[in-house]
Structure 1
Amino acid sequence: MFDKIFQLGLRDILDSMPSEYITLKEAMDGKLEITLNNGFKHKFDPEEVRKLSNAVPLYLWSLVRIPFIVVKLSTPGEYSINGSEWDIKAISTLLNISGKVISVGQMESLLREFKSLIFITLGYDSISVVNEDKEGI
């Protein structure tokens, strides 16, 4: 029974992920809505798109895709930026860091400024740790 509940919850998470992405340039040109895997629509906040465009160099606008996908790692307090090297570069520019692993504080900072542009999901490691813990019960 616990497995079934877990599978249903995981399916809900995956169904609510984006089925399409748009470039920052497309968002600046007015395309502010995408479709999720479950068929629902998600709208980006125009003010957040404007703030992002001010922080990301113009030459990256056609390469950076939104929404950004951030994966919760099994390591406490760590997240990984998922996506192309350009998406990682954009977030690295926002946070003034190098690399793709970010802390809880950095994640909170991103969410305060760009909550409509970020999706958070569980990584395989996070799921497998849950399964290992469950097997011990």
Structure 2
Amino acid sequence: MFDKIFQLGLRDILDSMPSEYVSLKEAVEGKLEISLNNGLKHRFDAEEVRKLSSIVPLYLWSMVRIPFIMVKLSSPGEYSINGSEWDRRAISLILNDLGSVISVGQMELLLREFKSLIFITLGYDSISGIDNDKEGI
């Protein structure tokens, strides 16, 4: 019974993840809506896109894709970025930190400033209890 409930909950989480991404350049140019796996639409806040574009250098706009996917690690209070090196670079510019693991405090800052640009999900290690040396997925 518990396994079935867990599977249904996990399916809901995965269904609400993005099925498409847009570059920061596309978002600045007005593409502020994406589709989710469940068929619904998600809209980015234009002010948050503007704020992000003021932090990320222009030459990276075509390479940084939003939304950012943050993966909850099995270690308490730790997250990693699931994305390209350019996505990780954008987050490091926001946080002024080059670390590969994001703390709860840093996540709170990101969510306060860019809540429509961030999705949080569980990693395999979070579900299974396996610790992958804090590397993320």
CA RMSD of aligned residues (A): 1.0
Secondary structure class of the residue paired with 2:129? helix
Percent identical pairs in the alignment equals 82
Please tell me whether residue 86 in structure 1 is matched to residue 86 in structure 2.
yes
Q: Secondary structure at the match of 1:70?
A: strand
Structure 1: 5+ residue stretches without partners: 131-137
Q: TM-score, normalised by structure 2?
A: 0.93
After superposition, the C-alpha distances for 1:1-48 in whole angstroms (9 at most, x for unaligned) are: 000000000000000000000000000000000000000000000000
Question: Which ranges of 4 or more aligned residues in structure 1 deviate by more than 3 Å?
Answer: none
How far apart, in 1, do the equivalents of 2:41 and 2:63 lie? 23
**CA deviation map 1:95-125 (0-9, x unaligned):** 0011321100000000000000000000101
Distance in structure 2 (CA, Å) of the matches to 1:82 and 1:63: 15
The one-letter amino acid of 2:31's match is K
Gaps of 5+ in 2: 131-137
Q: Which has the larger radius of gyration?
A: 1
Alignment of 1:25-104 (within 5 A): 25-104=25-104
Question: SS of 1:62's equivalent?
Answer: coil
Match for 1:105: what amino acid? G
Structure 2 counterpart of 1:112: 112
Q: In structure 1, what residue type is equivalent to 2:40?
A: F
Q: Does 1:121 align with 2:121?
A: yes
* Structure with higher helix content: 1
